[in-house]
Structure 1
């Protein structure tokens, strides 16, 4: 791909201005703003449907290359006390995760070009502790313990330089010693460097710069750093021990340049220096915080309760928050632009990309229907690499998986960042995900390895089956996003008679969960158009826009597991993991909750006795008594598939809920019960044997005239357009929507 881009906001409204950032390796590109109706390129369906919208942004722009600088670090701005270091000592507690991956900076005040300053590093030669000294005139010397560090073990590391005697010391001390391991080392020597070179570079932890331009971040460290310290003379080993943790001893106050406490301000980018110099800094590219430190004992699992045990930051060489590209064009949303799903379509020759965004309605001009665009779930899956990283993906899906241009590009360009389903290069889980970068699987025409036989759609593009159906049947509707719901809560839902969910609204913050429950209790009506919804708890950053956090605790379908003691969100201090583990199973909000998954073929539903209850008459008007529901569709060939939900009274399905139809007994053994249902493993967990493998269609009334209807299947929306929208999946959906739009009280 030679053209990619992103915008500064995912949700906007008339009168607001969107900024677009584009990387184009061709001389120029054309922009057209389009309304996205359907993004499915499968010829068996409606096809790609989009409408060009005339705006001031529709024109040709010059192309230019913009690069992404990945890798996290801490930067301490230059001050006089840093600029005039002669002798020094530096130390930290470290937990390296890839010590054999080449030179990696722990702490550096170093300019590569002139060889000026110092850098405490992991050696490129053998992964041992090393100290680099440079005189600023091109001369550099490196000293190493020659003892490779073990991965995922805590070490005390330190180095000192005495400018008068030219004495150099290094200390590499493991907190745990193993028989036959030779990972401890100590060096006492002298250097020929008579004076450290000076430069205007900042002090940095976990990386340093080889130049001033973007893309010149180097020697990026993987692992944790805790309690870094810097002094203005060569400390003894005993003095270093006094500085390991806690406040600076009074006897060392004048010697200490900086003593950084990463257990403070965990929910921010701020890095606090507790020394009198107050050399505060900031993190870049969101390294993981709320991480257990070298002194964590397990007596507290919550960093809020014992923050001094959480003094570590986990840095990764592939962390990425904001691509930081320059703005190429802007769009001020005109008053005539109705609420909906849009994109800036970028084209240059055969090259094409889309930058999607939602337009909210003007206050007071809301329609009766709102489609809730699950932008938090899109961010959780943003730029996922499962199709190329997961070696068992084809076994998992029971079929050959497709890889489109986006998947292949992301496999080659890891600097575009990862999803919360990926692991970092050091195999630790990715717990933060941002939209301030090109999110290439949030595109029309994209196909996914997870999308099932047929159209093979997942998340964003699968959701265009819903917008397509609403458009085809002539419904007027607004589009609001998860970010809007998180920020504004119940207020943004209140104008609407009906909320339609997406196919896979999996990730929700507490404010989002609370708002949807309050909406129902006040008489709102929800159509749950998918499955595996309201599953993971997330946190939004309190300061930074466009980023979420996921801690994959204890149970649930997950591609990595949070480390014990790291279950609480760093952004908010809230406990992470499944909502079910926190007393809020999806059944409480939706009537059904995640029960099984499979990615080969989908199945139909058959009606159950509850479907003939008078309360459900409106749902099945025009549907035959013995009709199979959805034995067709673009997603796996059926309406019940991919991920499916079931009713369960013990998990919160209301006692008066009607279980109208089910797909039980119709799935293959590729479909398996989700792991949170298992207290022990046992045979018979597949779709042909286990009663928990089923999608249950559910309806029930809520207080004050509200109601919930649940399809309980991600594949449901893929069946809506069958036979030019004349089918029983479309009919049932229309019956429910029409009745939910009618303000008359429901029969219950």
Structure 2
């Protein structure tokens, strides 16, 4: 893994430029633009298929190492007033989550190079401390000497008076019934501390160190700066004064900052609108100095503050109770690497899945991107494949091998790849939305502005018996290519921003194997496409499940909040709403938009073990749907083979359910059977945990293959299994899964009405 990279965008169109950022431990490396067709190296399949593309960037480049600096914090462009301070007061409400990890900056203007400046810190013993350092490197530190308690709100303050030389520190626990781990102040008297001491030095504020919130700015051997001593936890209502205030004055400034010496009074709730944060990165100062700032690496916003009462769960309805930001020492949303080369996509380049293959010595990387059709130009294909990039981002660089229950969940020991081992040692590559931060809270942001090592050809995911997400979707790309179907490629992110207008240019829209993460605009686009007569092929399972959104100012950034469903973490109380839009997060089913309304089936069971097969139902022999099975023998098992678990029905399974919105006229044409006891119902399907729920005993552990008509000549076909596409290439593409899929796609592409379309569909009980 000595060469890795990423692009400045996931989707690009002909005529646009795309930038490539590369980290190389080699002095020289080579680049080739390639088209990706099949990324599965399994010898039982057709093998890896990668085609070189002629491009002017195909050449040798000088390599260089590029570092990634994790951690979220707040920086300020205007530093002048912070440098003029001699006396000061620093105060805030804080909610530390890892005080035991040692030194962490809270409000700092500190140079660790020459030990100058001033700041409010958590010290090496986990205690609150105030530091000052003079221009000669002399340092005075005053600590409370009482370790902070994780998960409790504190008022904290530190001050220095130049005239008297008095240095002071204070903290008080602030609890109500809902805002902290504890409801009542058990033993908190010992945690409420005030100390002061006279010192003989003065802080050297004009020390070229930046004033930061939630970290310290250090210097690397190469002279460049990076943040160190990063803080984990929440900060609410930070204040800075150029005079030494008493403890009572500092406390009063938390809610009413005013008076002599006011330098800055930040209100993290400012910018909240009825539709979420106006600008997610912006921080506003209420003082006359207007020392506004911006966050780096997207700490979590829309989180409860010190005064949250739980009467309101949505931050947009009570912004004054959401004046906190949760910082993490391992936040990462932009690696901020320098550009190594850029490529203008030729006007005649075919839409598809592409990569920049960068390689040197025995190391290589495929920096993946997607070429969509040019806007404003009529597509030449009738079908469009929607690549589920939101799901790629959700699983980006996940570390499932580190989950304690992984072996029990998978029914086997996880198979760890080189990329997994590398990520285990390199946290700086960022986390997936299935991981936890170092302080135990869930990861709600994922960004494409970093190398994503599991979105590459040849990668074999440890969650699946073979493939998951990107390379599983290349199974479908390969089949479409081998069968000679003309198709365009767009990303679900494109659909998010352009809506049904983008999809309505096509007759058929096809999903990938696992379009799990979907935004409201994406759902609206799919429904609009179906209502307009579009024909929709849902080629996977567990689709349209988690609520996500993209930042309109930074489309590379995706947000999710989790609760209720199958998840790696749960949002804290009062924090389930998306900061970007203000809408409720978690799963669409709990927002009245169950997947059954979109594709006729919805997520019901999972088992990351062997896959099974389908059998036709009696209803499938009706002439209106019998054409789906043309060329397939009546008693055949459908898909008792495949590259993903050995069958077409596996990993995650969807079922028909009219109570959740499956149209009454929808037909189950086949259902899977024979699933093992590793397959279990998903959490949101359960009311009670009781024996008999696993695959060998529970009839709801199955995948339902469904077909139904939609308005204006449209239709929906759903496979309802993630492993389905892994069976398409079996026996050189000559198999019943391939035949069935070809029957559907050819009929969907044809101009004539589908059988049974002339019947008026009437809702029935």
Same fold (TM over 0.5): yes
d(CA) in 2 for partners of 1:462, 1:80 = 54
Aligned match of 1:380: 394
d(CA) in 1 for partners of 2:233, 2:81 = 28
Give the alignment partner of residue 689 of structure 2, picking from 671, 681, 684.
681
TM-score, with structure 2 as normaliser: 0.95
Within-5 A mapping of 1:684-695: 684-695=692-703
Unmatched runs of 5 consecutive residues or more in structure 1: none
> In 2, are the aligned partners of 1:366 and 1:496 still within 8 Å (CA)?
no
**Given the alignment of the two structures, is residue 346 of structure 1 paired with residue 358 of structure 2, yes or no?**
yes
Aligned match of 1:732: 740
* 3-state secondary structure, aligned to 1:22: strand
> In 2, are the aligned partners of 1:78 and 1:203 still within 8 Å (CA)?
no
Within-5 A mapping of 1:263-412: 263-266=269-272, 267=277, 268-362=280-374, 363-387=377-401, 389-412=402-425
* 3-state secondary structure, aligned to 1:546: strand
* 3-state secondary structure, aligned to 1:467: helix
Aligned match of 2:142: 143
Unmatched runs of 5 consecutive residues or more in structure 2: 176-184, 757-765
d(CA) in 1 for partners of 2:668, 2:131 = 69
Shift of 1:180: 7.7
Within-5 A mapping of 1:79-478: 79-124=79-124, 126-176=125-175, 177-179=185-187, 182-211=190-219, 213-214=223-224, 216-245=226-255, 247-249=256-258, 252=259, 254-266=260-272, 267=277, 268-362=280-374, 363-387=377-401, 389-452=402-465, 456-478=466-488
Give the alignment partner of residue 491 of structure 1, picking from 480, 483, 501.
501
Aligned match of 1:544: 554
TM-score, with structure 1 as normaliser: 0.97
> In 2, are the aligned partners of 1:373 and 1:479 still within 8 Å (CA)?
yes
d(CA) in 2 for partners of 1:135, 1:113 = 13
> In 2, are the aligned partners of 1:137 and 1:197 still within 8 Å (CA)?
no
d(CA) in 1 for partners of 2:204, 2:491 = 54
> In 2, are the aligned partners of 1:161 and 1:168 still within 8 Å (CA)?
yes
Aligned match of 1:57: 57
> In 2, are the aligned partners of 1:93 and 1:156 still within 8 Å (CA)?
yes
d(CA) in 1 for partners of 2:97, 2:251 = 24
Give the alignment partner of residue 526 of structure 1, picking from 536, 549, 552.
536
> In 2, are the aligned partners of 1:78 and 1:201 still within 8 Å (CA)?
no
d(CA) in 2 for partners of 1:323, 1:79 = 25
> In 1, are the aligned partners of 2:116 and 2:203 still within 8 Å (CA)?
no
Shift of 1:491: 1.3
> In 1, are the aligned partners of 2:210 and 2:217 still within 8 Å (CA)?
no
> In 1, are the aligned partners of 2:82 and 2:205 still within 8 Å (CA)?
no
* 3-state secondary structure, aligned to 1:322: coil
> In 2, are the aligned partners of 1:77 and 1:203 still within 8 Å (CA)?
no
> In 2, are the aligned partners of 1:26 and 1:64 still within 8 Å (CA)?
yes
Shift of 1:186: 1.3
Q: Deviations over 1:268-300 (max 9, x none)?
A: 210000011111101000000001000000011
Aligned match of 2:706: 698
Shift of 1:211: 2.0
d(CA) in 1 for partners of 2:138, 2:603 = 62
Q: Deviations over 1:205-229 (max 9, x none)?
A: 1001112755631110000000000
Shift of 1:162: 0.1
**Given the alignment of the two structures, is residue 669 of structure 1 paired with residue 682 of structure 2, yes or no?**
no
Aligned match of 1:482: 492
Aligned match of 1:719: 727
Deviates more, 1:400-409 or 1:703-712: 400-409
Shift of 1:115: 2.1
d(CA) in 2 for partners of 1:291, 1:230 = 23
Alignment RMSD, CA only?
Answer: 1.2
Aligned match of 1:628: 637
The number of residue pairs the alignment matches comes to: 737
Give the alignment partner of residue 658 of structure 1, picking from 641, 659, 667.
667
Q: Deviations over 1:679-724 (max 9, x none)?
A: 1111111000111100000000000000000000000000000000
> In 2, are the aligned partners of 1:366 and 1:495 still within 8 Å (CA)?
no
Shift of 1:181: 7.5
